[in-house]
Amino acid sequence: MSAAVVFGATGFIGRGLLRELLADPDGDDLVVAAVRTAESGARLRDRLVSGGVPLDRLSVHVFDPGSAELVLDPVAADVRDVYNLAAAFAFGMTARAAREVNVVLAEKITRFAAAAGARRLVHVSGYRVAAYPAVPAPWPPRYRRRIYRRFGAYEASKIEADAVVRALAAELGVPLTVVNPGTVIGDSRTGEADQYLGLAELVVQLARGQLRAVPGSRRTVLPVVTIDHLARFLALMPRDPETAGRAYWVLDDATPPLPELVALVADELGVAAPRLRIPVAALRALPARLTGAEKETLSFLSADTYPTAPATALARRHGLEYPPVRPALRLWARHVAATAPDAASG
């Protein structure tokens, strides 16, 4: 029996992928959820069970992310596919904290895949890596310090991890696929999500009457992808030999510009949409305590476009289409507004 190992299994994307892999009626692989503690593994099982996910092929294994070499409890199967969905997704982190997970752990997972002789390593990065020049790893310390100062710890660590994983996979001969998702929103059928950073914060502020102006310009886009579409896309990567050595930007080009998106969400929530817009330059210049905008998030407020055609074409060859984005945004916004904790209000 072969196994697919999922690092980052307890996160939002990780749980979505587990649901997809475990619910596949044609699946026969063992699905290994790599978790940091037995307690988090137990909570993961409970959440999957409550969601009606069959657990007959699930095996939960604890690993120590601080060890020099990643070792799972003995897995009664050959490791065939490895997914790296582990990430520290937060703003305001120190460079050390961000690198420990997004860079150092990503390197260890790549070495784990090499030692296991994996058929494929699927590394989830981020869509903004397309916006910056690719500088091969390892980065000189001075260059690293400059990038972390410029972009903040989260985004800089994702850019560095992309370079590190690519270089190491090539060195070790690991067949690699990189998936760069847009902002991941809730399930297209239910809106369900439990991630309240980034675009979700705007939804919460709007719902609570705290969004006074729409950030960016009329051309600003925060491209989205539903969790169910992303999970299906991730699941098919190892099964298609043509995806080895490739990178895919998985985001819906039909995402409306941010002012339209805010108006759509406001209509769904029955609140007034802000008429004012505040340019990114002004947000950068003003103190965060006045604007409520985390400086690290501002580079995401962009009108940039991304190379989405290969991912769209690949998905269509496998019968996978993006769900209609506007109904999905409405469902997700309603769910976020109803379930966001008080801390998300900023």
CB 48 within 8 A of CB 125: no
Residues, the chain: 346
CA–CA gap between residue 154 and residue 135 (Å, rounded) = 17
pTM score of the predicted model = 0.93
CB 187 within 8 A of CB 193: yes
Element containing residue 94 per DSSP (H, E): none
Per-residue tens of pLDDT for the chain, all 346 residues: 799 999 999 999 999 999 999 999 888 889 999 999 999 999 999 999 999 999 999 999 999 998 888 888 767 678 999 999 998 888 889 999 999 999 999 999 999 999 999 999 999 999 988 777 778 899 999 999 999 998 899 999 999 999 999 999 999 999 999 999 999 999 999 999 998 988 999 999 999 999 999 999 999 999 999 999 999 999 999 999 999 999 999 999 999 999 999 999 999 999 999 999 988 888 777 666 555 666 677 777 888 999 999 999 999 999 999 999 999 999 999 999 999 987 443 3
The count of other CB atoms within 10 Å of the CB of residue 245 is 12
CB 134 within 8 A of CB 142: no
Contacts of 26 (CB under 8 A, 6+ apart): none
| CA-wise closest residue to 206 among 256, 259, 252 | 259
Which 8-state DSSP code applies to residue 86?
Answer: -
Report CA dihedral (333, 335, 338, 342) to the nearest 10 degrees.
Answer: -80
- The single-letter code of the amino acid at 119 is R
Long-range pairs for 34-41: beta carbons < 8 A, 24 or more residues apart: 34/5, 34/6, 34/7, 34/8, 34/9, 34/61, 34/62, 34/63, 34/72, 35/9, 35/10, 35/60, 35/61, 35/62, 35/63, 36/62, 36/63, 36/64, 36/65, 37/62, 38/62, 40/10, 41/10
CB 304 within 8 A of CB 222: no
Q: Encoding tokens for residue 309?
A: 């055609």
Query: Under DSSP, is residue 310 helix (H, G, I), strand (E, B) or coil?
Result: helix
| CA-wise closest residue to 116 among 2, 37, 31, 21 | 2
CA distance to 67, 118, 129, 172, 195, per residue, from 115 (Å): 15, 8, 27, 9, 33
Backbone angles phi, psi at 58, to 5 degrees: -90, 135
Q: ∠ CA 265-231-174 to the nearest 5 degrees?
A: 135
Q: Return the beta strands (E) in the chain as ranges.
A: 2-7, 30-35, 58-62, 78-84, 120-124, 176-181, 183-185, 213-215, 224-226, 246-250, 276-278
CB 91 within 8 A of CB 16: no
CB 148 within 8 A of CB 97: no
CA–CA gap between residue 116 and residue 3 (Å, rounded) = 11
- The single-letter code of the amino acid at 87 is A
